[in-house]
Amino acid sequence: MNEPGGGEMRISTENDIVMARKSVREAAVALGFGVTDVTRIVTAASELTRNIYVYAGSGVMRWRSIVFENGIGLELTFADQGPGIADVERAMEPGYSTGKGLGMGLPGAKRLMDEMELHSEPGQGTTVCIRKWLLRR
Amino acid sequence: MAYGNISVIKVRDILLVTVPPDPDDLTVTELQEQVLQAMAVHEAKGLIFNLSTVDTIDSFFARTVTETVKMAALMGGLTVLAGMRASVAITTTQLGLSLGSTLTALDVDRAMDLLGTALRREESSA
């Protein structure tokens, strides 16, 4: 299922957050990211998998390497069929949370990565896609 | 003492807490309780969190650590966070987390010095 450079895992327990961090770390290191970027990517993945576990109960994380003209990147997608986010704009504000969290997860993950796209429909679920680019020198 | 992957070692009046590299949420939650209980049992005046082995600190971990610092303060204990890696310091700050006025040190050695000085100052002013 998990070929080099990509894979998918189900997130439904607290321990899956740890497993997701491990998988993402391996993928980022294999692509050649430096220690600081690896830490950034793993931390963003930790926030987003915890969001799945806390708000939706279960979901899926997918990762793959992507190629662009100047180099390669790592793309992570977090998808759930949970309650969705009623106010996406507010959810992106630091300090805003509908749960018991700090409200750091979504805005923090966005700052740690190069790109982030979020799609959410109340009652349908949430998909968050994040990317980090690795420039070729 | 070892609680799962957490080790708490008593050195004089200080508890030295070593955190595993990639702890799950349960381990992080247990850490808080075990550390505060150990503080009471050993009548410790100071805590050092050795974070040098930790390779990721997300918002849950950071919140639990900063909470524990406040809780320890309520029990009369002074905490120093020691040995945070550069990559972790960069990431937690960019994530948007702030440690407030928590004491920090580059490594455990310097944390011992810092805590020793701070505790002596407290004693002499008491």
Across the interface, whether the CB atoms of B88 and A39 are under 8 A apart is answered yes
ipTM, two decimals, is 0.88
Q: Which amino acid belongs to residue A39? A: T
Q: What is the pLDDT of residue A35?
A: 96
| Residue at token pair 């607290």 | A14
Which helix (H) or strand (E) covers residue B39, if one does?
A: helix B25-42
User: Mind listing the domains of chain B with CATH numbers?
Assistant: 2-125 (3.30.750.24)
Residues of A with CB under 8 A from a CB of B: 14-15, 17-18, 21-22, 35-36, 38-40, 42-43, 46-47, 50, 94, 101-102, 104-105, 107-109, 111-112
Cα separation of A14 and B82, whole Å? 27
Q: Which residues in chain B touch residue A105, judged by CB atoms under 8 angstroms apart?
A: 59
> Residue B61: CB partners within 8 Å, gap ≥ 6?
B23, B28, B54
Q: Provide the edge-to-edge strand list for the sheet that holds A59-68.
A: A6-11, A59-68, A71-80, A125-135, A115-121
pLDDT digit string (tens) for A69-111? 878 999 999 999 999 988 888 888 888 888 777 778 899 999 9
CATH of region A6-135, choose from 1.10.3720.10, 3.30.565.10, 3.40.50.300, 3.30.70.260: 3.30.565.10
Work out the mean pLDDT of chain A and round it to a whole number: 91
Across the interface, whether the CB atoms of A35 and B26 are under 8 A apart is answered no
